[in-house]
A = this chain, B = another copy of it.
């Protein structure tokens, strides 16, 4: 079986000259004017712009701009260099990326396959605008399936004793060319050292509507508490287990008649949809992190 992501999207001709800019800085007068003036002067046309001011007097300012720039490929470097002045003036953290330069994902998975299958399906359908660089797993279960898509599969077993070496091996196979790591029901805790390498670039799916049911067996916890709604949460991984910035959540109604098996079954669909949305938003540069929260444009 040979399945590849569709290479041509209907709107691809629009994308060659499109770029995105993410900005976080202390709020103050003139930021939008300065940025939009800068872009206009450099010949860029803003096609989408979102902003959010946490608190008009003295809070943080966040902005996402999508713009078209003729001959982007040859002009982007100069634009980036020139913007440093503006950025310095307003103490900005910022990033700039060409839409045509797809983000590269590493997907980590254990035995449960639903989140991985969803990501592969969305990627193959052209809905996930990214490249899947590799899959890493502590099990062999999904090897044939993943390789049938032409994607490298790295089997790296993890035990309590070999955890450190396993993470070292994971970092090696990932290399320097991966933008974001997706924990698609990867059932191992990531060490602080590893997290530090990919600060705000590791996305996990937790199978409850956090902060309810932190920790293990959330569906059993939900059943025992008798909740009428279950959910799932996609978040960036931080040192605090299940405590990182939330990107997306969704829920579904359940009833007294749903036992733990049924909750898990319902939950699988929530999990895969929520994780896929969070990944899509991340690769489209829609998520900014500030302290322990996200701004999602």
Q: Interface code A23-63, partner B: CB below 8 Å = 1, 0 otherwise?
A: 00000111111101101100111111111110011000000
**A interface majority secondary structure:** mixed
The smallest C-beta distance from A49 to any residue of chain B, in angstroms, reads 5
Query: A80-88, A182-190, A222-230: which lies at the B interface?
Result: A222-230
A10 on interface, CB distance cutoff 8 Å: yes
A140 on interface, CB distance cutoff 8 Å: no
Interchain CB contact (< 8 A) of A249 among B11, B50, B228, B294: B228
A213 on interface, CB distance cutoff 8 Å: yes
- A selection of 12 A-B contacts at a CB cut-off of 8 Å is A1-B145, A14-B56, A29-B40, A32-B36, A33-B40, A36-B37, A45-B56, A114-B125, A127-B268, A225-B292, A227-B246, A229-B231
A interface residues, Cβ below 8 angstroms from B: 1-3, 10-11, 14, 28-34, 36-37, 39-40, 43-53, 56-57, 68, 113-114, 117, 121, 125, 127, 144-145, 148, 209-213, 225-229, 231, 245-251, 255-257, 261, 265, 268-269, 273, 292-296
